[in-house]
Amino acid sequence: MGIEASRSRKIEPQQPGAPVTTQPAMTLAPDADGVSAPIHASTHADGGKVEAVGGTPTVSDAGTRMTGAEMVIRALADQGVEHLFGYPGGAVLPIYDALFHQDQVRHILVRHEQGAVHAAEGYARSTGKVGCVLVTSGPGATNSVTGLTDALCDSIPLVCITGQVPTHMIGNDAFQECDTVGITRPCTKYNYLVKNIADLPRVLHEAFYVAASGRPGPVVVDIPKDIQFASGAYARPNEFPHRGYRPRLHGDIDKIKAAVALMAAAKRPLFYTGGGVINSGPAAARLLRELLRLTGFPVTSTLMGLGAVPATDPQWLGMLGMHGTYEANLAMHDCDVMVCLGARFDDRITGRLDAFAPHSRKIHIDIDPSSINKNVKVDIGIVGDCAHVLDDIVRLWRDVRPAPDRGALKAWWGQIEKWRGRKSLAYRASDDIIKPQYAIERLYAATKDRDVYITTEVGQHQMWAAQFFGFKEPNRWMTSGGLGTMGYGLPAAVGVQVAHPDSLVIDIAGEASVLMTMQEMSTAAQYRLPIKIFILNNQYMGMVRQWQELLHGGRYSESYTAALPDFVKLAEAYHAVGIRCEKPVDLDAAIAEMIEVKKPVIFDCVVDPAENCFPMIPSGRAHNEMILGDAAQSLEDAVTEEGKVMV
Amino acid sequence: MSTSTSTTHYPAATVKEAIESHTLAVIVDNEPGVLARVIGLFSGRGYNIESLTVSETEHEKHLSRITIATRGTPMVIEQIKNQLDRMVPVHRVVDMTIAGPAIERELAMVKVRGKGDNRVEALRLSDAFRARVIDATAESFVFEITGGSEKIDQFINLMLPLGLVEVSRTGIVAIARGPDGM
């Protein structure tokens, strides 16, 4: 195989409607082809007997015969996939050929495989569906690794199909060969190498089940080229697609009762919610809001959990953690009962572990048993899906009608209001230079009544977006939380816009991050996706610069980006619109123009290069040791020697 | 200002707990890569493996049993079990150390080379340990010994001055006492 066989580029990718090959309707029982019929009777960890399914073919349907490549596209269509993000190459050409002959699944051609995975993440996060990726072997697979790891950290359901060299060449260091399953094993929830065409339909459907069930995550299906050419019998999705994996959805009712009793007796309670509430679906956010009304408790959330509770809710304290609000962090520190819903006590949240919420009893609800008691020992750990457990809690609370200590709750709210009065997000306004916080505030004001989705890159702008943009609904906020991947936001915005073509999709970006995946502007132009790239341009890797100011005596080693591109001209080069804004007085009009333009826009918002992101809990410090913006002169003493070695 | 020289990237553990040894039995789908997944979990998350054995135990169901001897604080042991349990091809994880009385055994083959008194003494000791001779030459024996790890350690230590050449051990396998399966 020569180089020309790989990475072939189509000049005109928006194919005119190719003739559609209609498949015969499949009306018969699943798994009736007798091909993928393992013994389904087995037991799972919780001791439950798994129903026996499949086994003997009961109906005469022998499954439609087709090639492996056709099976891939057919399985995607049967799984309800409408959009596939990918990049062709030698080892996936048969699948691209199958793609050519149908119009059920639409392919979005990206410019780099990392962009494909982030786009699929944005698509998945904003729709609640599984995001799909198709890439070639070798470099196609390795380029997708960052995106897969990002999806694993943030529990985003993805199915990534990778091409592989033919089975007889595996292990021979063939051209564009890599050990894809070996490389992606630690960065996926699960992965498969399909070496037999008979396994392919089952594996494809299983991949969707594994990706979407339990704690969601990315799944890789590695398909050698000869399997793509091979012919076999297709089988439709099973009702029980996996023989062993059955994540537990319902929490232990006795523990839930104990949790309700603990909550009812609380004097200083607090809900601490996370991405699990978003992943659990709209019902979880609705039930959470209902529970807030019933209990009157305050609520804070992680970066990943923003939107589950509207930012305008009076019980909402803002985000917590390293750059969380004063009231959220001090409420965490001083609470006596903490109810953690779908969050995982990440180090950005807890700060110094031995000083984390020292007087609290903790309830932790999570679908992943390994999240419970991992970083922080809890009193009641409930394994289950947030929506299911919340449903039980709400029902029990209504049945029991507990009589919380109203006096204590009133005093607690009084304390919280005092903390709120500290106005920890305040910043020094300016008439001369755009403060980044001001830019986000104005962006929020201009878009809050619109159908808007926000993605971000990683750094200061991401924290300011989380602090100053008020989210009303879940699934409207796409950001790289766990892995912190610079370059996430632009391709994610592409994916979100593909899923919601008529919505306003804005990537709040930093000029350093966005250059990492800037090539996806070309994708946006090709598919006429009117994404808005709102760059807070401070010419620095702002968060790196802030840490250097804090930890390294202001020696800004390599954090200044000299020779930045002219973003307006860059936008024009990508057939997009460029807007530059340098003065606060011009900002509102410029934002209005950005929203009005029906094309992709790069908005170069030139902001104060010296601004730092506050409040901040320095590494190695406790929640009640946070630094506020107006006390920033004490920065040099802010970090202990111990804290300096932390990230 | 603290002058601690901690070099970890994350906050220190809240509670200092004692290190414990546990033996875990893990039932997994016998599929390519499953052992790599389990071992990758241990290496990736920094857990200890003292011993690991694996073999298919139910051929028709394609199930294998992995027995892992590991060490860690109670919090880490709980993490290991939960991390194993959430893996897609893992069916069950049982902590043999706390599930009830269990029997742990290991098999070792021990090659000893020597002549004269040493040879006689090796044979006499092997008899005391109920080790079997499975290969012999004029100047060597290969003993097969089964038992708990301590017994095997002790036997090997005794063979050391008598001309120990080589040891091959299976690692621990474990099963619960009594009539019930896991």
pLDDT tens per residue, range A554-585: 999 999 988 999 999 999 999 999 999 999 99
Task: Tell the residue number behind the tokens 């995975």, with chain if given.
Answer: A117
Catalytic residue among A176, A228, A315, A548: A176
Residue in A586, A311, A593, A349 with CA at minimum distance from that of residue A469: A311
Q: Which of B33, B63, B83 sits opposite A370 (nearest CB)?
A: B83
Is A66 marked active-site? no
Question: Residue A50: is its pLDDT beyond 80?
Answer: no
Q: How many CB pairs under 8 A join A and B?
A: 93
**Phi (first) and psi of residue A249, to 5 degrees:** -100, -40
User: How much of chain A, in percent, has pLDDT values that exceed 90?
Assistant: 81
pLDDT reported for residue A625: 87
The whole-number average pLDDT for the span A585-601 is: 98
pLDDT at A54 (0 to 100): 38
Interface test with B, best of A153, A170, A219, A370 (most B CBs within 10 A): A370
Q: Is A231 helix (H, G, I), strand (E, B) or coil?
A: strand
Give pLDDT tens digits for A506-521: 999 999 999 999 999 9
Average pLDDT, chain A: 89
In this prediction, residues A218-225 reach a mean pLDDT of 98
Could you say which of A543, A594, A616, A626 is catalytic?
A543
Nearest CA in chain A to B59: A39
Kindly state the percentage of chain A with pLDDT values over 70.
Answer: 87
pLDDT at A393 over 50: yes
Q: Tell me if residue A225 is catalytic.
A: yes
Mean of pLDDT values over A192-220: 96
Please report the pLDDT score of residue A484 as a whole number.
97
Q: Tell me the chain A residues in contact with residue B33 when contact means C-beta distances shorter than 8 Å.
A: 181, 185, 193
Residue A216, preceding peptide bond in cis (omega within 30° of 0): no
Count of positions (residues) in chain A: 647
Residue A552: band (very low, low, confident or very high) from pLDDT cuts 50, 70, 90:
confident
What's the number of CA atoms in the CB half-sphere (13 Å) around residue A38? 22
Q: How far apart are CA A559 and CA A545, in angstroms?
A: 6
Contacts (Cβ under 8 Å, ≥6 apart) of A150: A117, A118, A121, A156, A480, A482, A483, A485, A488
pLDDT, position A641: 65
Measured in angstroms, the CA of A315 and the nearest CA of chain B are apart by 30
Lowest mean pLDDT among A42-51, A268-277, A456-465, A546-555: A42-51
Q: What average pLDDT does the segment A209-233 reach? A: 97
Q: Please indicate whether, in this complex, the C-beta atoms of B89 and A244 are within 8 angstroms of each other.
A: yes
Q: What angle do CA B45, B49, B50 make, to 5 degrees?
A: 160
Whether residue B14 and residue A353 make contact (CB cut-off 8 A), yes or no, is yes
Contacts of A437 (CB under 8 A, 6+ apart): A425, A427, A464, A467, A468, A611
Alpha-carbon distance of A337 to A355, in angstroms, equals 16
Of residues A275 and B7, more confidently modeled:
A275
Per residue in A55-71, pLDDT (tens digit) is: 333 333 457 999 999 99
Contact across the interface for A376 and B14, Cβ inside 8 Å = yes
Asked whether the predicted pLDDT for residue B160 surpasses 70, the reply is yes
How far does B107 lie from chain A, in Å, by closest CA?
29
Cβ contact A434:A583 at 8 Å: yes
DSSP letters spanning A152-199:
HHTT--EEEEEEE--GGGTTS--TT---HHHHHGGGSSEEEE---GGG
CA B142/CA B150 separation, integer angstroms? 19
Question: What order do you get walking across the sheet with A131-135 strand by strand?
Answer: A106-109, A83-86, A131-135, A158-164, A218-224, A190-193
pLDDT band of residue A7 (cuts 50, 70, 90) is very low
Instruction: List, for residues B97-153, the tens digit of each pLDDT value.
Output: 998 899 999 999 999 999 999 999 999 999 999 999 999 999 999 999 999 999 999
Q: Shortest Cα distance from B149 to chain A (angstroms)?
A: 29
**Best to test chain A binding among B86, B91, B92, B94 (most A CBs inside 10 Å):** B86
A479 in Cβ contact with A459 (< 8 Å): no
Chain A residue with the nearest C-alpha to that of B37: A185
Q: Write down the pLDDT at residue A618.
A: 85
pLDDT for position A356: 93
Percent of chain B with pLDDT over 70: 91
pLDDT at A465 over 80: yes
Residue B171 CB neighbour total at 10 angstroms:
17
pLDDT at A2 over 50: no
Taking 80 as the threshold, does the pLDDT of residue A617 lie above it? yes
> Residue B14: pLDDT band by 50, 70, 90 thresholds?
low
Subunit contact A354:B14, Cβ cutoff 8 A: yes
Taking the C-alpha atoms of residue A377 and residue A432, their distance in angstroms, rounded to an integer, is 50
State yes or no: pLDDT of A479 exceeds 60.
yes
Average of pLDDT values for B21-37? Answer: 95
Contacts with B1 from chain A: Cβ below 8 Å = 637, 640-641
Contact B75 A377 (CB under 8 A): yes
Q: For residue A543, indicate whether it is catalytic.
A: yes
Q: Do A182 and B36 touch (CB under 8 A)?
A: yes
pLDDT in tens, A172-183: 999 999 999 999
- Region A216-245: mean pLDDT is 90
What pLDDT band is residue A642 in, cutting at 50, 70 and 90? Answer: low
Which of A245, A345, A347, A617 to mutate to test binding with chain B, by most B CBs within 10 Å of its CB? Answer: A245
Q: How confident is the model at residue A638 (pLDDT cuts 50, 70, 90)?
A: low
Lookup result for tokens 């401070």 = A538
Mean of the pLDDT values across residues A448-465? 98
The mean per-residue pLDDT over the stretch A429-454 comes to 97
Of A42, A376, A646, the CB nearest to B9: A646
Q: How far apart are CA A443 and CA A456, in angstroms?
A: 14
A74 vs A160: CA distance, rounded Å: 15
| Distance (Å, whole) CA A582 – CA A600 | 20
Question: Which residues in chain A are closer than 8 Å to B8, comparing Cβ atoms?
Answer: 645-646
pTM score: 0.88
Residue indicated by tokens 């013994």:
A39
Q: What is the pLDDT of residue A560?
A: 93
Most B-contacting residue of A191, A202, A636, A642 (CB-CB within 10 A), to test interface: A642
| End-to-end CA gap in chain A | 45
Q: Would you say residue A522 has pLDDT above 60?
A: yes
Among residues A75, A69, A84, A72, which one has the least CA distance to residue A26?
A75
**Which of B7, B60, B79 faces A645 most closely, judged by CB atoms?**
B7
- Facing residue for A244 by CB, picked from B1, B10, B91: B91
Query: Is A645 close to B9, i.e. CB distance below 8 A?
Result: yes
Hey, which residues does A221 pair with through a beta bridge?
Answer: A161, A192
Residue-wise pLDDT for A397-437, tens only, equals 999 999 889 999 999 999 999 999 999 999 999 999 999 99
**Mean per-residue pLDDT, B10-16:** 57
What CA–CA distance (Å, rounded) separates A199 from A222?
Answer: 12
- In this structure, of A73-87, A134-148, A543-557, B105-119, the range with the lowest mean pLDDT score is A543-557
Taking CB atoms within 8 Å and a gap of at least 24, the contacts of A462-466 are: A462/A508, A462/A510, A463/A323, A463/A543, A463/A613, A464/A436, A464/A437, A464/A440, A464/A508, A464/A536, A464/A613, A465/A440, A465/A508, A466/A303, A466/A306, A466/A319, A466/A323
